Chain A
Amino acid sequence: MSLKKKDLLGIKDMDAEEIGEILETAKSMKKLLLAGTKRTPHLQGKTVVTLFYENSTRTRLSFELASKYMGANAANITASGSSVAKGETLIDTGRTIDVMGTDVLVIRHPLSGAPHLLAQHVRASVVNAGDGMDEHPTQALLDLFTMREKKGRIEGLRVAIVGDVLHSRVARSNIWALQKLGASVCLAGPTTMMPREIERTGAAVFETAHEAVAGADVVMALRLQLERQKSGLFPSIREYSRFFGVDTGRLRLAKPDVLLMHPGPVNRGVELTSAVADADFSAIDEQVTNGVAVRMAILYLLARREN
């Protein structure tokens, strides 16, 4: 098994078969993790570099741990502590990392398309760890993995995604991914934070959270960037959480065995109440664990491509 393309830039350009392959491989990786095997030879002799132009806890750490668990040489660079702060261009930074013998370059960047640009200029495989409002493909893959693990399937699931869809790369990657695997997607969020022509994605779009959540197998709340309030997209956090916050009452409209998800970090009391975030139907911690397994699978499948 290996991936067809050099890079993993977005779910948009992947087919169901490639997604399935990553999810299958992640299953074995998770077994290793659960067995406590944190030293495998899968990536021995390989070098994985994470290049982060934005803050991140879970994504960066899970890539780093995934690399280390599989025996890779792992290094990370952040924008503030590197030549980026001295005004070096993305292409120049990427080439520098590339020619030091990097096999996989994991990038997070505030501007959409940055990983695509980088991928054109480096020999290493590029993994998109989140670019602007475009995609966060490894998040969607770990979300799919979690849903499949908990629900046994993706096809036929009804997944509600609630919140700021406009600015969310997690929402975009999930919209593409879920529909490729046969799930139906229901969106809800303030109309000022819903992209124009969103219906063309194939997702059903609602103006109230309860319509989207009704009958859902999975409810995914999106992180609200609180500073959006200042740009006038919604009047107050209080009003946002009243109309779009996911709480026990709203979740009662979903299927009885609903699964609650959130990409983290959570603004407690805003997009989720603590009561639901910590409930037994919440998969938030599981998502984080699965993130390591899925990223192990991705790194492994990309790194062995060259052999």
Chain B
Amino acid sequence: MRMKLIIKGGTVVNADAGPGVPGAPYPSGKLDLLIENGVITEISERIAMEAHGQAVDVIDATGHMILPGLVDAHCHLRDPGLEYKEDIETGTASAAAGGFVAVACMPNTEPVTDNAEIIKYILNKAELSGYVKVLPIGSVSKGQRGEELSEIGEMKFAGAVAISDDGRPVSSPSLMKKALLYSKMFDIPVISHCEDLDLADGGDMNEGYVSLELGLRGVPSVAESVQVARDVLLSEYTGVPIHIAHVSTEASVNLIRDAKRRGVRVTCETCPHYFTLTDKACLGYDTNAKVNPPLAGEKDVAAVRAGLADGTVDLIATDHAPHHADEKNVEFSSAAKGLVGFETAFGLAYTNLVLTGVLTLAQLAEKMSRNPARLLKLDGAGAITRGGPAHLTIIDPERRYTVEPERFLSKSKNSPFGGFTLQGAVAYTIVGGKPVVRQGVLLE
């Protein structure tokens, strides 16, 4: 491997860190980058190739946008135990193709990632076969059973970046309070999947006109917001930050906006499907549109977009949730919930948020790189800085393409976006100075 890399002719787009922030990112503009041994050593208007001799790799980024490497704070790699859906190798290949340099994987593996040994297994396997960095998330409770806390401290020291019970939400308010208080000792973020299971009552999709039309059992949108309200209040009471996963409804966005205004240390994410699709995507019993939380109504999609624009929604995560075709090619009520998201996330965000004026590209870099990196406390990631690690995502902003799930690198193809035309394609994914995707192609 060549030790030097020059990226020429591209436009650097940095999330704005604000004045006076130490190690502040370079302001956006047309700039060349010199990378040596995985570190960005020079950022300037023109870097002469001649000065660096033969042993230099050059990427011509003319017409391209150079973003701080995308970070996904929420995905499922299904490894260990559910490798028929995805494994760390295929999952990180898919992530790399989607422009992600690091992905945080949820603990609903088999067995559950509730102890240091499984955290180590994931990190070792990622070291051996991963294309991008893998950041394991440990469970809040042993076996995600919602009864006793997992060994959060042990997991943190083994390398866990956060704790969450994700899709098996912490139903007990008292356990959530304990999780917040306990995690504070280890300065590890708590991510909450907000769903009141009693209200959701095993429903298949958002409760509304479409569920009535399809005769499917509805999940009332208040099943999410009731729990958001609870978690915001628990965070306020304990003074410990909380991160709300995949916010999908208007009421949740409003609750979080109000909480932030009064100083509660709450952050939240949404996913591309929540700012793109409504529950109408379920028409025809399309099981690829079955996801948890369920796709909601038009006013919810509008509220999620407004929340992204005004900063209520801090970041965009994929909730990449691979499922085997056999788990989707069944009756809607029997189908698994979730969709694969790595390979469509950037295109959906660029097409639906940047081209429509909801966010600038720099703001998108905040939502997909800086803020997830901050949440997970990743040193050096999330910004392009001199002296910082070279985690970069290079985008061709003009390229339009049709989504073809059968060509995804993920083992699973469960996407409701097949046939969508998107603009903004990932051209290069560079992890620690090493290109893993080049001209849109994964380097094996």
List residues of A whose CB falls within 8 A of some B CB: 12, 89-91, 109, 111-114, 116-117, 131-135, 169, 172, 195-198, 200-201
Contacts and interface: CB of A to CB of B under 8 A. Distances in A.
Given A196-B207, A196-B218, A91 B329 contact: yes
Contacts of B211: 195-196
Sort chain B's interface into a size bin.
Answer: 20 to 34
Contact of A90 (B209, B218, B331): B331
A109 B332 CA distance: 12
Considering residues A89, A113, A114, which has the most beta carbons from chain B within 10 angstroms of its beta carbon?
Answer: A113
13 contacts: A89-B326, A91-B329, A111-B332, A112-B214, A112-B333, A113-B216, A113-B331, A116-B285, A132-B215, A135-B215, A195-B211, A195-B212, A196-B209
Contacts of A116: 284-285
Interface string B204-230: 000111011111111010000000000
B332 A12 contact: no
Nearest to B207: A196
B334 interface: yes
A237 B208 CA distance: 27
A112 B215 contact: yes
Given A117-B285, A197-B209, A111 B214 contact: no
A36 to B, nearest CB: 39
B282 to A, nearest CB: 9
Nearest to A168: B215
A177 to B, nearest CB: 14
B212 A114 contact: no
Contacts of B333: 111-113, 132
Contacts of B331: 90, 109, 111-114, 117
Nearest to B334: A111
B355 interface: no
A90 B212 contact: no
Nearest to A231: B201
A196 B212 contact: yes
B330 interface: yes
Interface of B: 207-209, 211-218, 220, 284-285, 326, 329-334
Contacts of B332: 111-113, 117
A138 to B, nearest CB: 16
Nearest to A10: B215
> Which 5 pairs, one residue from A and one from B, show the smallest C-beta to C-beta distance?
A134-B215, A113-B285, A133-B215, A112-B215, A111-B331
A132 B205 CA distance: 14
Contacts of B329: 89, 91, 117
A133 B207 CA distance: 13
A201 B209 CA distance: 8
A113 B216 CA distance: 9
Contact of B217 (A91, A133, A201): A133
A109 B285 CA distance: 15
Given A111-B331, A111-B333, A195-B218, 18 more contacts: A89-B330, A111-B332, A113-B215, A113-B216, A113-B285, A113-B331, A116-B285, A117-B285, A133-B215, A134-B214, A169-B215, A196-B208, A196-B209, A196-B212, A197-B212, A198-B212, A200-B209, A200-B212
B231 to A, nearest CB: 25
A111 B332 CA distance: 8
Contacts of B285: 112-113, 116-117
Contacts of A109: 331
A305 to B, nearest CB: 22
Contact of A201 (B212, B220, B284, B330): B212
A113 B214 contact: yes
Contacts of B207: 196
B374 to A, nearest CB: 39
A198 B215 CA distance: 12
B335 to A, nearest CB: 10
Nearest to B285: A113
A172 B215 contact: yes
A134 to B, nearest CB: 3
A200 B333 CA distance: 24
A86 to B, nearest CB: 16
A119 to B, nearest CB: 11
